[in-house]
Amino acid sequence: MSEDIIDPDLSIIDPHHHLWDLRPLVPAFPEPRHDFIEAIAGAAYYTFDELQHDTRGGLEGGHNIVGTVFMECGAFYDASRGDAMKSVGEVEFVNGVAAQGASGLYGDYRPCAGIVGHADLTLGDAVKPVVEALVAAGNGRFRGIRHAAAWDADPDVLGPPFHAPEGLYGSDAFRAGFAAYAEHGLTFDAWLLEPQLGDVLDLAKAFPQQTIVLDHCGTPLGIACYKGKQHEHFDRWRASIKAIAECENVVVKLGGLAMAFCGLPEDGPMKGHSSEHLAALWRPYVETCIEAFGADRAMFESNYPVDRWGASYEVLWNAFKRLSHSHSEDERQALFAGTAARVYGLEHLLEAA
């Protein structure tokens, strides 16, 4: 669905998107393979050209995307390195994309100006050389890591690509690695599911000096055994969000709700829902998060291409803009760019905007 862009001059830093090529992995996915990729990943192939097409970065007619933050997704690992160091390859690849964007050929748009990679925090102190290698590979763009902990007892919720063990963030091995990682002064993105939110609350309390970014509004679920039960679990989710927001070291990303996991909407991919309709679906979650965290600790995110399930890129950001209209101009600037710039060290993008 195509819509006219709302508030086209509003500067946006998209703080969460991926780049990948899942095509070689298709034979390992269960049937129906194409539907599985389409529902969970949004696209089998997504690199600079696809990102440029969606963001229209540096081009006329799109939202004013001034820069983006890449989020790790297990792509382009370096097979020549040992297991602990393979993830450095992903950062090397993304840094090349960032260099392409920084060439000036695409105007002032800076894709992947910030890079969040992956390191296995269950390595304990042994994670330190991995982090050092990631920082070096980022060439000044590396901002932190994500070690996802998404898990559910129902195997149909996440599917085979996700292998986090139950209770990862509370395990002794993870906590040892987290303590070692915290010495680097980088960010940590946390992805887990709504029933697990107590795990990130405990982590934030145990490490109050570590900046933690809670991805995707805490991922409320509307798939598999949770399908159609969002209202039943909303109060539990809201209580968890309010408790986590009391930890001043945590910020929240407002997005991810268009994932197939959330069922908001249930039908996809991109069935043509308007930004008005999507804003109405997401309003209870987004407004709760902003009320709990405040605009200076919240940031809208695309989570593309995963959120392609629910909306095109332009409709997605139109929905966010509709959701923000009751806020002041300063709050809107924080929600769309300022918070992301501060958290991920990208203030220079706004100076140039």
* Full-model pTM: 0.96
Q: Output the six-digit token pair for 256.
A: 């991810």
Q: Average the pLDDT over 185-191 and give the result.
A: 98
pLDDT tens by residue, 263-312: 999 988 889 999 999 999 999 999 999 999 999 999 999 999 999 999 99
pLDDT, tens digit, 9 for 90 and up, residues 108-146: 899 999 999 999 999 999 999 999 999 999 999 999 999
Judged by average pLDDT, the poorest of 197-201, 220-224, 340-344, 349-353 is: 349-353
Cα distance between residue 49 and residue 117, in whole Å: 21
Q: What share of the chain is helix, strand, coil (3-state, %, to 5)?
A: 50, 15, 40
pLDDT at 28: 58
pLDDT computed for residue 304 by the predictor: 97
Q: What is the pLDDT of residue 33?
A: 47
Looking at residue 299, its pLDDT comes to 98
DSSP letter (8 states) at residue 103:
T
Contact 111, 98 (CB under 8 A): yes
Q: For residues 319 and 28, what is the distance between their CA atoms, to the nearest angstrom?
A: 35
Closest CA to 152 of 139, 165, 142, 143: 165
Name the CATH architecture for the domain at 11-352.
Alpha-Beta Barrel (3.20)
Confidence of residue 161 (pLDDT cuts 50, 70, 90): confident
Mean pLDDT of the chain: 93
Burial 311-350 (b: 16+ CB within 10 A, else e): bbbbbbbbbbbbbbeeeeeebbbbbbbbbbbbbbbbeebb
Q: Which residue has the tokens 């991919």?
A: 269
